[in-house]
Chains A and B, each alone.
Chain A
Amino acid sequence: MTGSYVHWGVLQISVTNLVIILVMIAVFVLAIALPFPSAVADDEERERP
Chain B
Amino acid sequence: MTSIASRTAAGENDRPGRNNWTTWLRTRLGRTVPPGQLLPDRQPVYVSSWIYVFGALTLAALVVVLGSGAVLALGGATWWHTSSTGHFVNSLHLWSVELFFAFMVIHLWGKFFMAAWRGKRALTWITGVVAFLGSIGTAFTGYLTQSNFDSQWISTQAKDGLNSVGIGAWFNVLDPGQMLMWHIVLLPTVVGIIVVLHVILVRRHGVVPPIDAETEPAPDDLGSSS
Q: List residues of chain A with CB under 8 Å of any chain B CB.
A: 20, 24, 27-28, 30-32, 34, 36, 38-39, 42
Contacts and interface: CB of A to CB of B under 8 A. Distances in A.
Contacts of A32: 49-51, 110
Nearest to A33: B50
Contact of B48 (A30, A31, A36): A36
Contacts of A38: 48
Interface residues of B, number: 13
Residue from the set A28, A30, A34, A38 with the largest chain B CB neighbour count within 10 Å: A28
Given A28-B109, A32-B49, A42-B48, 17 more contacts: A24-B102, A24-B106, A27-B102, A27-B106, A28-B51, A28-B106, A28-B110, A31-B50, A31-B51, A31-B53, A31-B54, A31-B106, A32-B50, A32-B51, A34-B50, A39-B45, A42-B45
Interface of B: 45, 48-51, 53-54, 102, 105-106, 109-110, 226
Contacts of A42: 45, 48, 226
Given A36-B48, A39-B49, A42-B48, A31 B110 contact: yes
